Structure 1
Amino acid sequence: MFNQVVLTGQICKSPKFSESPAGVVHGQFSIEHRSIQQEDEFSRNAYIRIHVVTCGEQQRQLIQNFVVGDEVNVSGFLNRHESKNGQPILALHAQHIEKLN
């Protein structure tokens, strides 16, 4: 099975950090992607806002200075999370992040 996503977008929710009981740093932020995609010879506006999750000190150091409006390229895998009220959330678990601007 294969689960790999690469997405370019703008940060729309600044990074926040927490630490697990085991001492692992987790980061969270959101990005928005807007583009025009071709689908069966038709142009379609594509829009997505997705929650991005990071893990580890190296990722924290990379994203700690990201601000709303920064353009980033994120690659990783999709996973299901639950909000505090139990609603399902699709999250992109970042394995590589590159700031583009």
Structure 2
Amino acid sequence: MLVENHYKHLHQVQEYANLMFKSPKTLSNLFAKYSEKTPLQVISERIFLRKQAVCCSTPTSRREIGYDLGFGRREVTFLAVFQKNGRKSVGI
């Protein structure tokens, strides 16, 4: 699955659509037809699973987790991914 292979550095539906030579709208329509989740939900859930694995295995700061997940120094963006998707707490 593309998300599994690229979630650490691709975080937007547009980026995955580009890999598939599809528009984001086409990708969203396919998900609506065959899945109960949106493409962004799938991406966010995979990132969240990795965040949980890192949090549980080692004492790691939010900045380090964000960097591990490909957000670099964009800690605000990293936090926004989870807040926008209903996950209010991203603390360790």
Q: Between Structure 1 and Structure 2, which shows a larger proportion of strand residues?
A: 1
Larger Rg: 1
Which has the higher relative contact order, 1 or 2, with Cα contacts under 8 A spaced 6 or more apart? Answer: 1
TM-score (ref. length: structure 1): 0.20
Q: Between Structure 1 and Structure 2, which shows a larger proportion of helix residues?
A: 2
TM-score (ref. length: structure 2): 0.21
